[in-house]
Amino acid sequence: MVFIQQVLVLIAWVIGLVVRRVLKNRMTMSTASATLAGLAGLWGGLVIAGWIFDSGDLWKPDMIGVAALVALVVVVVVALVTAYLHPRPGLEPIAEVARRGESDSREFKSSARWNMRTGKRDEAIETVIAKTVAAFMNSGGGTLLIGVDDDGRLIGLGPDYATLKTPDADRFELWIRDLWRQRLGTNAAALPRLDFAEASQPQEGYERQEVCRVTIPPSPRPVYLRGAKGKGEAELWVRVGNSTRRLEVVDAVQYVSLRWPESVRVSPLTRVRLFMTLRHRETPTRLPGVVQRVLAEGGSGEIPASEGE
C-alpha cells in the first residue's frame, strides 16, 4: 500500500510539472499545490476507472490511463481557477528595471553559481545570492536580477544553466529554491517569486539565454543565513543603502527587537551567549537598554513590544 501511494505521488508530481510548463505564463499555483491537486485527481480517476471497467486492479493500463487523464484535467482546471481568482500582479519589464540601475531595493548579479573570473562553479557565489535574498527579506524587500551585469546589461544565465542537468528556467528555479531552503530555511525559501525574460545581450557559446528576476517581499520574521552544509554560526544580513551588511550579535539583537518586537524572545541560553560574547571583547560594548533589562531579569525573557516602538 505504501508503494502504491509513493507511485501515485510521483505520477501526480509529474502531471503537476507538465501543467506548470504548459501554463507557465498563467500559472500562479506552486508545484506542491499542483501535486496535491494531481493526487486528488488520481484517486478520483481510479474510482471512476474502477466503475467503468468494473475492476479492482489498480495496475491495469486502462485504469492508470483513465486516472492520469482525470488528474490532468483536475490540475488544469484548478490551475486556471487559481489564476483567475489570484492573478499575477503586473510587473515592470525586466529590461526597464535593469535600465534604472542598482539601488537600495535593486541588486544585479551576473550569475548565481558560476564564477566569471575563474570559469568554474563557486559556492561563494551561491552564498552571495543567499545573503542578498536574506538581506532584502530582513529589510523592506526588493528585486534581485540574476544574469544582469553591473552596467545593467542582460547577459543571461548561460553559464549557470550549463551546470544543471536540464538547462532551463524550471530546473534553475528548483535549484535556487533548494539553495534557499538549505541556507535560509523552508519558510523563507517559499517567499520570493521568480520570473524570466530573454537576455538582450547574451553571452556566446550558450543555447539558453534568459534573465531571472527574484521579487523578494519583507519577511514577517527574521531570516538568518546558515553556513554551507550546516557549518558555522547563523548570521543576520540587512540592506544598508546599496550594500548588503552583516550585523554583529549585539546589533542583530537590537535590530530584531525593533523590527519584530512581538516575536522576539531571549532565552536563558541566549543570555549566556551574549554575556560570553561581550565578556571576551577587548573593548566594552553597551547593550541596548531593553536587552540589558532582559539579561538582568530572571523571568520569561520576553522583550516588551513597547520597547521596540
Residue 174 has pLDDT above 90, yes or no: yes
Nearest 10 degrees: CA dihedral of 49, 55, 60, 65?
-10
Which residues share a beta bridge with 239?
244
Q: Which helix (H) or strand (E) holds 121?
A: strand 120-121
**pLDDT at site 204:** 72
- Identity at 135, one-letter amino acid code: A
**pLDDT at site 212:** 95
Q: Which helix (H) or strand (E) holds 73?
A: helix 61-85
Extract the C-alpha cell encoding 52.
Answer: 467503468
Residue 84 has pLDDT above 90, yes or no: no
- Identity at 230, one-letter amino acid code: G
Domain ranges of the chain: 2-85, 94-229, 248-308
Buried b / exposed e over 152-187, threshold 16 CB at 10 Å, is bbbbbbbbbbeebeebebeebbebbbebbebbbbee
Percent of the residues in the chain that have a pLDDT greater than 90, as a whole number: 43
Specify the 3-state DSSP secondary structure of 265: strand
Distance CA 296, CA 28 (A): 49
**pLDDT at site 287:** 44
Residue 32's Cβ-side half-sphere holds a number of Cα atoms within 13 Å equal to 2
Contact by Cβ (8 Å): 261, 307: yes
Stretch 109-113: mean pLDDT, rounded? 95
Tracing cell 506548470 back to the chain, one arrives at 20
Domain 94-229 has CATH 3.40.30.10: no
**pLDDT averaged over every residue in the chain:** 81
DSSP 8-state assignment for residue 174: H
Q: What is the pLDDT of residues 259-300, one digit of tens each?
A: 888 765 656 666 566 556 655 554 444 444 444 444 444 333
Q: What is the pLDDT of residues 208-256, one digit of tens each?
A: 789 999 999 999 999 999 988 767 788 999 999 889 999 998 898 889 9
Contact by Cβ (8 Å): 175, 121: no
Buried b / exposed e over 23-52, threshold 16 CB at 10 Å, is beeebebebeebbbbbbbbbeebbeebbee
Residue 108 has pLDDT above 90, yes or no: yes
